[in-house]
């Protein structure tokens, strides 16, 4: 009997050309996960994720589902699958779900965090885990500017030129900016995101935080509905997919909100 299984997956995207499996020889997170699952299930597996991530982007709680006719316990779907995964990909939770669950279409919101390291000197250990800027950023100014993005808007100015979404209309449910020492974390939840949307938010807010543009520029860019007015696209290094929310009846497993960097420094500040 075919059953549906949901996994929560953590990965460091630095070595991959994004989530999605691509042509032969191009490393992706999806390809590695499907290969590992095939070993445990003894048959080919196709996984579907809550939200695709780009080249170099990370995840602390990517949600995926797949179908299988074999019976395995949670230990097999976590520890067993991890045995066949590279060290920068890990399954952190697993559960059987109902047949009507879909990792992408059942999600009511997705959440990302973008971690900026503001310092005169570049980091070494976290070189691919944060976006570094030598500029001094004012997090309070960035937080004020981000308020304009809340609600339902046409985010054409914040979508990549090659974005394939049918509409630029999205609803941003929460947008928080928090300073933790030399780190600034953008925490954004929306019903869905456009290609490069978070990185373009970050590019605009970093420009405002550095004092190069006024707070009002965020609204100007939004209302322009023109990507050319939106400034630079921030690097992928500091971007993390941290959560997908689903209706309670699906009983999807959860993981602590990432990144671990954010959690560590939040605790240290208490």
CATH code: domain of residue 199 = 3.30.70.660
How many CB atoms neighbour CB 108 within 10 A? 11
For residue 123, the SS3 value is coil
Q: Which of 42, 74, 106 is the last residue of a domain?
A: 106
Closest CA to 33 of 99, 97, 78: 78
Question: For residue 257, what is the DSSP state?
Answer: -
pLDDT digits (tens, 9 = 90+) for 43-77: 999 999 999 999 999 999 999 999 999 999 999 99
Closest CA to 201 of 218, 184, 183: 218
Residues classed as catalytic: 54
Cite the DSSP H helix spans in the chain.
Answer: 29-41, 74-75, 81-82, 139-146, 197-209, 217-224, 260-269
> Are residue 148 and residue 47 in the same domain, yes or no?
no
Sign of the alpha-carbon torsion through 18, 21, 26, 29: positive
Q: Which of 75, 106, 137 is the last residue of a domain?
A: 106
- What is the end-to-end Cα distance of the chain in Å, rounded? 50
Whether residue 260 is contained in a domain is answered as no
pLDDT digits (tens, 9 = 90+) for 140-188: 999 999 999 999 999 999 999 888 899 999 999 999 999 999 999 999 9
Per the structure, how many domains does the chain have?
Answer: 2
DSSP string, 128-193: TTSEEESS---HHHHHHHHGGG-EEEE-GGGS-TT---S--EEEEEEEEEEEETTEEEEEEEES--
Query: Buried (b) or exposed (e) across 236-263, using 16+ Cβ within 10 A?
Result: bbbbbbbbbbbeeeeebeebebbbebbe
> Are residue 114 and residue 235 in the same domain, yes or no?
yes
> Are residue 210 and residue 196 in the same domain, yes or no?
yes
Q: How many CA atoms lie within 13 A of 152 on its CB side?
A: 3
Q: What are the phi and psi torsion angles at 248 (to 5°)? A: -55, -35
What gap in Å lies between CA 48 and CA 230, rounded to an integer? 31
> Are residue 137 and residue 41 in the same domain, yes or no?
no
> Are residue 208 and residue 154 in the same domain, yes or no?
yes
Q: What is the pTM of this model?
A: 0.92
> Are residue 119 and residue 181 in the same domain, yes or no?
yes
Tell me the residue range of the domain where 153 lies.
109-240
> Are residue 41 and residue 124 in the same domain, yes or no?
no
What gap in Å lies between CA 262 and CA 183, rounded to an integer? 9
> Are residue 93 and residue 53 in the same domain, yes or no?
yes
Q: What is the pLDDT of residue 268?
A: 39
Closest CA to 13 of 187, 180, 240, 171: 240
What gap in Å lies between CA 176 and CA 128, rounded to an integer? 23
Whether residue 138 is contained in a domain is answered as yes
What gap in Å lies between CA 81 and CA 51, rounded to an integer? 21
> Are residue 75 and residue 160 in the same domain, yes or no?
no
Residue 32 has pLDDT above 50, yes or no: yes
Q: Which of 78, 106, 134 is the last residue of a domain?
A: 106
Q: What is the pLDDT of residue 251?
A: 87
> Are residue 196 and residue 230 in the same domain, yes or no?
yes
> Are residue 71 and residue 86 in the same domain, yes or no?
yes
pLDDT digits (tens, 9 = 90+) for 209-247: 999 999 999 999 999 999 999 889 999 999 999 999 999
Whether residue 135 is contained in a domain is answered as yes
Whether residue 264 is contained in a domain is answered as no
């Amino acid at each position: 009997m075919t059953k549906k299984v949901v996994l929560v997956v953590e990965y460091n995207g630095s070595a991959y050309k994004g989530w999605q499996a691509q042509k032969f020889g191009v490393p992706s997170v999806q390809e590695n996960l499907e290969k590992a699952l095939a070993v445990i299930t003894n048959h080919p597996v196709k996984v579907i994720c809550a939200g695709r991530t780009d080249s170099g982007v990370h995840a602390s709680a990517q949600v995926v589902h797949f179908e299988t006719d074999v019976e395995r316990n949670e230990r097999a779907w976590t520890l067993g699958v991890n045995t066949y995964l590279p060290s920068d990909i890990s399954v952190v939770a697993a559960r059987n779900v109902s047949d009507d669950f879909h990792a992408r279409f059942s999600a009511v919101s997705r959440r990302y965090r973008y971690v900026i390291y503001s310092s005169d000197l570049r980091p070494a250990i976290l070189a691919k885990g944060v976006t570094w800027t030598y500029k001094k950023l004012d997090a309070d100014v960035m937080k004020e500017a981000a308020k304009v993005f809340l609600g339902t808007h046409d985010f054409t100015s914040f979508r990549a030129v090659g974005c394939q979404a049918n509409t630029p209309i999205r609803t941003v449910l929460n947008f928080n900016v928090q300073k933790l020492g030399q780190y600034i974390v953008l925490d954004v939840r929306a019903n869905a995101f456009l290609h490069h949307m978070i990185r373009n938010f970050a590019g605009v807010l970093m420009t405002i935080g550095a004092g190069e543009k006024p707070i009002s520029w965020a609204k100007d860019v939004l209302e322009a509905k023109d990507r050319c007015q939106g400034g630079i696209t921030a690097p992928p290094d500091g971007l993390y997919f941290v959560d997908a929310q689903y209706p309670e009846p699906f009983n999807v497993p959860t993981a602590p909100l990432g990144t671990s960097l954010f959690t560590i420094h939040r605790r240290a500040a208490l």
